[in-house]
Amino acid sequence: MASSSSLSTLRPPCFPPPSSSTAAAPPCIALLPTSSTKRFRLLLTASSRGRVAGATGEMEAKGDNEGGPSTMALATHEGNSKPRRIALFVEPSPFSYVSGYKNRFQNFIKYLREMEDEVMVVTTHEGVPDEFYGAKIVGSRSFPLPWYQNVPLSLALSPRIINEVAQFKPDIIHASSPGIMVFGALAIAKLLSVPIVMSYHTHVPVYIPRYTFSWLVKPMWMVIKFLHTAADLTLVPSAAIAKDLQEAKVAAANTIRLWNKGVDSDSFHPRFKTSEMRVRLSNGEPEKPLIIHVGRLGVEKSLEFVKRVMDRLPDVRIAFIGDGPYREELENMFAGMPAVFTGMLQGEELSQAYASGDVFIMPSESETLGLVVLESMSSAVPVVAARAGGIPDIIPPEDEGKTGYLFTPGDLEDCLSKLVPLLENKELRERIGRAARQEMEKYDWRAATMVIRNEQYNAAIWFWRKKRAELTRPFRCCSTR
């Protein structure tokens, strides 16, 4: 993680528009004199509460290296953009590959279409529909990730794909990162001369030591830096990831923005709790305390820590909902223990699984946000999670013990001190669950999509125009002589 001192160089993302452009300056959010972590969270999340400030008055631009102007005034900004043509490059597919960002992108597409934008989605070809809420889907031939065969990848740079995107005439390209397809998206954006936004979803440098050679971490950071330096705007799922990218100098702080969290609070709701699902998850012992974990079963999720937890709780049952390359090893690890592996659940079954547990455990230290944590909280099931990655954005310090609990990563005693009282005290469990549910009702995907569409896409277009103005300035100077 980035050190606190690294945030002292961050500035709000404000610039006056170049004289040659009619573009409006992007929103500016003030950094308040609070602690560095809280300051960065305020910078990134102010818009989610509807308090986005815009720059007004005369400001001196000092360049991207200094992060923005030295002075600013604040004013309320409410963006409302006319319909656009948006090309999304998403890898792997949010339609066939179950991952943390599946709901994010599906809801994003849904609400962009509701706001009358034309949307094209380029993604890997397996199991993709012809259209989704009226968005055109273009499948690109893919190949498996060498050390993670379940993840399909594609460059998406064939003549067919280029022609499809060119005919669509996008106003902006938005690509998921990191991956292989983002290179194709970048090349097409430069070829068509349109702005490109990259959203960072998988913290690959953290995963690499668990799946392959540690010496690949540094080259991976170089690749990520190459991509995001070329982007006009970088979207991140949490303040913690923004700090990591800033410390690695992946992108200027003023071009990093938050993709606000959201959750489908209708689909993930305590009303889905059923005795039948609880019997299934507890292997026929519904009266026993029940811990649940939902998510991809991968080595990077630190699920071996759960084995240490369960060794100390012989009367407790646990259910793993999900699938992944680590499942067989986990089943062997938990052999003879009161553990259930349901495999992949979707739709109402998944909603029932969330709502029918007592406590949700999340030991992972590599979550860019942790959408499953949001879904558990929305289901009124208390969360006990590692204080790492993007999880503290969901349960910030001021809410610990109110909407959920965080423990020091890898600290078994700290985890048990938060977990055991919840398992033993039904009143405490229900109180924390109700508070978590109330907190999640504040967040919805439509509002998050509106921020991207009306504010952050505008900012990306503005930065793109600024870059173009800087590149063409020498030619304009020559032409006036």
Instruction: Express each pLDDT in 306-358 by its tens digit.
Output: 999 999 999 999 999 999 889 999 999 999 999 999 999 999 999 999 999 99
The answer to whether position 150 is within a domain reads: yes
Task: Evaluate if residue 33 carries a pLDDT over 50.
Answer: no
pLDDT value, residue 392: 95
Examine the domain organization and report whether 316 and 245 are in the same domain: no
Strands 290-294 and 359-362: parallel
The answer to whether position 345 is within a domain reads: yes
Average pLDDT over every residue of 147-159: 82
pLDDT value, residue 442: 92
The answer to whether position 96 is within a domain reads: yes
Task: Give CA–CA dist 425/119, Å, rounded.
Answer: 49
pLDDT value, residue 151: 74
Examine the domain organization and report whether 235 and 322 are in the same domain: no
Examine the domain organization and report whether 312 and 206 are in the same domain: no
The answer to whether 195 and 173 have CB atoms below 8 angstroms apart is yes
Examine the domain organization and report whether 275 and 352 are in the same domain: yes
Average pLDDT over every residue of 134-158: 84
Average pLDDT over every residue of 263-269: 94
H or E stretch covering 265 = none
Q: Of 258, 290, 310, at which residue does a domain stop?
A: 258
Task: Give CA–CA dist 165/191, Å, rounded.
Answer: 11
- For residue 139, list its beta bridge partners: 123
pLDDT value, residue 72: 31
Task: Give CA–CA dist 379/358, Å, rounded.
Answer: 11
pLDDT value, residue 452: 96
pLDDT value, residue 384: 98
The answer to whether 172 and 188 have CB atoms below 8 angstroms apart is no
Task: Evaluate if residue 131 carries a pLDDT over 70.
Answer: yes
- For residue 293, list its beta bridge partners: 320
Average pLDDT over every residue of 124-135: 88
Examine the domain organization and report whether 284 and 250 are in the same domain: no
Would you say the C-alpha torsion 56, 60, 63, 69 has a positive or negative sign? negative
The answer to whether position 479 is within a domain reads: no
CA 466 to chain centre: 27
Residue recorded with tokens 């573009």: 23
Task: Evaluate if residue 29 carries a pLDDT over 90.
Answer: no
The answer to whether 350 and 269 have CB atoms below 8 angstroms apart is no
Question: What six digits make up the tokens of 386?
Answer: 């590692």
Examine the domain organization and report whether 252 and 138 are in the same domain: yes
Question: What six digits make up the tokens of 264?
Answer: 């489908």
Q: Of 258, 293, 317, at which residue does a domain stop?
A: 258
Examine the domain organization and report whether 229 and 306 are in the same domain: no
Task: Evaluate if residue 10 carries a pLDDT over 70.
Answer: no
pLDDT value, residue 352: 98
Give the CB-side neighbour count of residue 135, counting CA atoms within 13 A.
33
Residues in Cβ contact with 94 at an 8 Å cutoff, skipping those fewer than 6 apart: 101, 102, 104, 105, 106, 123
Number of independent structural domains in the chain:
2
Examine the domain organization and report whether 208 and 279 are in the same domain: no
Question: What six digits make up the tokens of 365?
Answer: 């230290």
Averaged confidence pLDDT in the chain: 83
Which range has highest mean pLDDT (47-51, 55-59, 374-378)?
Answer: 374-378
Beta strands in 212-286 (DSSP E): 233-236, 256-258
Average pLDDT over every residue of 250-259: 92
pLDDT value, residue 476: 64
Q: In the chain, what percentage of residues exceed pLDDT 70?
A: 80
The answer to whether position 190 is within a domain reads: yes
Question: What six digits make up the tokens of 13?
Answer: 């993302």
Task: Give CA–CA dist 130/254, Å, rounded.
Answer: 37
Residue 152: CB atoms within 10 Å: 23
Task: Give CA–CA dist 101/105, Å, rounded.
Answer: 6
Largest Cα–Cα distance of the chain, in whole Å? 86
The answer to whether position 25 is within a domain reads: no
The answer to whether position 475 is within a domain reads: no
pLDDT value, residue 143: 84
Q: What pLDDT band is residue 271 in, cutting at 50, 70 and 90? A: very high
Task: Give CA–CA dist 93/105, Å, rounded.
Answer: 10
CA 172 to chain centre: 20
CA 12 to chain centre: 21
Task: Evaluate if residue 23 carries a pLDDT over 90.
Answer: no
Q: What pLDDT band is residue 147 in, cutting at 50, 70 and 90? A: low
pLDDT value, residue 184: 97
If one compares 290 and 209, the residue with the highest pLDDT of the two is 290
pLDDT value, residue 206: 77
Q: Of 238, 258, 278, at which residue does a domain stop?
A: 258
Of 119, 121, 191, 125, whose CA–CA distance to 159 is shortest? 191
Judge if pTM exceeds 0.85. Answer: no
pLDDT value, residue 230: 96
Lowest-confidence segment of 143-157, 277-291, 381-395, 440-454 by average pLDDT: 143-157
Average pLDDT over every residue of 69-96: 67
Lowest-confidence segment of 126-135, 185-194, 316-325 by average pLDDT: 126-135
Question: What six digits make up the tokens of 138?
Answer: 């273009």
Examine the domain organization and report whether 282 and 339 are in the same domain: yes
The answer to whether position 125 is within a domain reads: yes
Examine the domain organization and report whether 357 and 424 are in the same domain: yes
Examine the domain organization and report whether 250 and 304 are in the same domain: no
The answer to whether 429 and 436 have CB atoms below 8 angstroms apart is no
Average pLDDT over every residue of 55-65: 31
Task: Evaluate if residue 1 carries a pLDDT over 70.
Answer: no
Rounded to a whole number of angstroms, the distance between the first and last alpha carbons of the chain is 51
Average pLDDT over every residue of 427-456: 96
Examine the domain organization and report whether 251 and 320 are in the same domain: no
**What CATH number has the domain bearing residue 358?**
3.40.50.2000
Helix (H, G, I), strand (E, B) or coil at 317: strand
Residue recorded with tokens 């606190």: 4
Q: What pLDDT band is residue 366 in, cutting at 50, 70 and 90? A: confident
Q: Domain containing 208: what range? A: 85-258
